[in-house]
Amino acid sequence: MTRVFSYLDNQNQPFVGVEWQGKRYNFTLAWALYKQISLNNQGPDFQFVQMIIEMDLFHAETFDELFDTLKQYRSISDLLIRGPVQFKAPIERPQKIVCVGRNYREHAAELNNPVPDEPILFAKSPSSMVASGGMIRVPSDIGKVHHEGELAVIIGKSGYQIKASQVSEYIAGYTILNDVTARDLQQKDKQKGLPWFRAKSLDTFCPIGPYVVPANAIADPQNLGIRVTVNDEVRQDGNTRDMITPITELVAYISRYMTLTEGDIIATGTPAGVSTLASGDLIKIEIDEIGTLENNVLAAPPILSKK
Ligand code: ZN
């Protein structure tokens, strides 16, 4: 299993890390050494996962080649990351986060919504992102807030009107996203016929990561279990096989209307079992073959918005 992440070391320096053959390595340093050995010291340095994607190097083979080559020349034990790390969001600056509403039948039903006849698209602001381990800050006057555990697609190549048969060339990898939703605010805006952008885009309402797994390292993204626990109690327990519109069709559909570009994030919808979060809760979203996204909920000062 190869999984890639962004983290801060104890001096608050950003690095890219890779879990490779069961151990975590500092990829930023490993790549600098690899450049000296194999690339005549040419090419970029990598402090952010998104840069690896933009250089079209985000493939399981890149990491195999890197570490296999290094091991021929030197020990790689000095590149090991020891102890826990402080994760950063694995994508720094997505142009956009496109979300899909009601993509699981039972989730549409639990909120008394009809199953849509074509995908419902909405956006989350990139400024809502927070890393695994960070706090979901819930303003005290915002009303009910729900978790939504989701598989997220990371786009690897720019494309417009991508054919479903070619979508796999455009996906860099997969990660975990919590589409935290201010549900009362969303309902209020929906009833007025307004967009629900703000209810989805509060600061810290998009926990993401910690790992991005290269697309070709996942056997079948359409057969991954998604489990969400709140304080170790199971709330959501679904499988990506139950998506109404599968990933390849979703990516093709979105790209009919807008160019998707490197680092863009697509949240593919949530299974049934969304529930209300309270201050102090620990929420964990686990997706097979990818890992676990963990965040605590913290009460925050009121927004004091005018009616
Ligand atoms: Zn959602």
pTM: 0.96
CB 132 within 8 A of CB 91: no
Domain boundary among 72, 87, 102: 87
Domain boundary among 52, 87, 122: 87
Same domain for 70 and 117?
A: no
Task: For residue range 141-195, list pLDDT tens digits in order.
Answer: 999 999 999 999 999 999 999 999 999 999 999 999 999 999 999 999 999 999 9
Separation of CA 118 and ligand 1 centre (Å): 16
Residue 258 structure tokens: 């807008």
Separation of CA 103 and ligand 1 centre (Å): 9
Q: Is residue 148 part of a domain?
A: yes
Task: Identify residues whose C-beta is under 5 A from ligand 1, the ion.
Answer: 148, 179, 270
Query: 303: left (phi > 0), else alpha (psi -120 to 50), else beta?
Result: alpha
- Domain with 51 in it: 3-87
Number of domains the chain is built from:
2
Question: Residue 306 pLDDT more than 80?
Answer: no
- What 3-state class would DSSP assign to 259? coil
**For position 112, what pLDDT does the model report?**
87
How sure is the predictor about 307, in pLDDT bands with cuts at 50, 70 and 90? low
Same domain for 192 and 52?
A: no
pLDDT average, residue stretch 258-280: 97
Q: Is residue 105 part of a domain?
A: yes
Same domain for 267 and 182?
A: yes
Question: What is the CATH classification number for the domain harbouring 183?
Answer: 3.90.850.10
Q: Is residue 83 part of a domain?
A: yes
Question: Residue 1 pLDDT more than 90?
Answer: no
Same domain for 169 and 71?
A: no
Same domain for 35 and 178?
A: no
Task: For residue range 247-266, list pLDDT tens digits in order.
Answer: 999 999 999 999 999 999 99
